[in-house]
Amino acid sequence: MRRILTAGVILLLILLAAWQSHRLTSFRRSGMPEAYTGFSADTPPALTFVMAGLGGFRGIVSEVLWFRVSRLQEEGRYLELVQLADWIARLDPHASEAWTYNAWNLAYNVSIMMIRAEDRLRWVQNGVALLRDDALRFNPREARLYRELAWLYQNKIGDALDSAHLTYKLALAETMSPCVNPDGTVCGTPESRVRLATLRLDADRMSTLEHRFGPLDWRLAESHAVYWASQGLDYATGAERLMCRRGIYQPLILSVRRGRFSGDLTKKQWQTAPNLPLATATADFIEETLKEFPSKNATNMYINHLRISVQLFHNANDASRANEFYQRLLLALPPEYRRRPELEDIVVNRWRFEDEG
């Protein structure tokens, strides 16, 4: 009788856990109806049982699978690792930490183990797709996921930390070329919109960003970083707002210096040039950030952006704009700053801002 009673209690607890899981899912759906689309057709039946039937016990299964992920990575069984990581995230699709860890693992840890640049590219693209196509489908209002995706574009693809970075850059530029005008700005034709939609990009939002900041070149990773971070800013609150704003102005600053593609894709030649029309809007956006989140680091970055802009406009023989940014730089210096530079000092790079506060 005692055994029967114990088994009955266990069964009752399992049923209660499943009922509670169903209630939580219904609550999430009511708050974000577009976020949860159910299970994909290729989800194995065993996993579907775990996800739908075990309720609160899914966390235990997830922990076991995490140990399996570590073993697969040690053994170099990367294809299995990708599939298993996807299942883990689907066990709790609203846990942003799992998605960001898996994407980071694929784009950084796994990709760097590949010898050929083409193989590395596939793993980086897998990391991007995991956040863009899956994580944001389940969590369309999770600002952190947008910011992490923006960082993948800015750091992994846009930077030169990886020896295969040119392969990543050229692949992105080739993918975007059919969707943009000759200067890299978004093309609004129906064909382009369809192509962009397959990449989860909204042509209208891209046009809005161009109207706000200037002619973004969508063949470059920095423009995509601006796109995703700005979308995250729409949902960000508290400290996450600052993180998303950084995710916007950092790639904008880089775009002013090298944000226009000037190479030749047909010859696989990568080359960039300054995108000076972005300079003013970038400075304005950093000023807005400083008003909301004042800090010495952001102030230093702002003044440094103004300094570089003076040099770039001078090199482009635009003395009027160079002087405009010079005057703006003088206004941005702290009142107690004693070593106020001359325009010539900035042009010839004899002056660097050092906070004396």
- Does this model's pTM top 0.85? My answer is no
pLDDT at 4: 84
What's residue 120's pLDDT? 95
Q: Are 115 and 87 in contact, with CB atoms under 8 Å apart?
A: no
Most confident of the ranges 65-74, 75-84, 99-108, 249-258: 249-258
The whole-chain average pLDDT of the chain stands at: 86
CA 316 to CA 303: how far, in whole Å? 20
Q: What is the pLDDT of residues 222-252, one digit of tens each?
A: 999 999 999 999 999 999 999 999 999 999 9
For residue 45, pLDDT over 80 is answered with: no
357 has a pLDDT exceeding 80? no
Query: How would you write 38-92 as a 3-class SS string?
Result: CCCCCCCHHHHHHHHHCHHHHHHHHHHHHHHHHHHHHHCCHHHHHHHHHHHHHHC
Q: What is the pLDDT of residues 130-153, one digit of tens each?
A: 999 989 988 999 999 999 999 999
Mean pLDDT, range 98-110, rounded to an integer: 87
Tokens of 160: 């030169």
What is the C-alpha separation between 95 and 116, in angstroms, rounded?
33
Residue 329 confidence (pLDDT): 96
| Position 51 confidence tier, pLDDT thresholds 50, 70, 90 | low
Strands 260-261 and 272-273: antiparallel
Contact 168, 124 (CB under 8 A): yes
**Domain spans, the chain:** 115-268, 295-357
By percentage, how much of the chain surpasses pLDDT 90?
63
Nearest alpha carbon to residue 219 among 277, 173, 254: 173
pLDDT digits (tens, 9 = 90+) for 183-195: 999 999 999 999 9
pLDDT value at residue 61: 65
pLDDT at 58 over 70: no
Whether residue 172 contacts residue 201, with contact meaning beta carbons closer than 8 Å, is answered with no
Task: Give dist(CA 260, CA 252) in Å, integer.
Answer: 12
- For 12, other C-beta atoms within 10 Å of its C-beta total 10
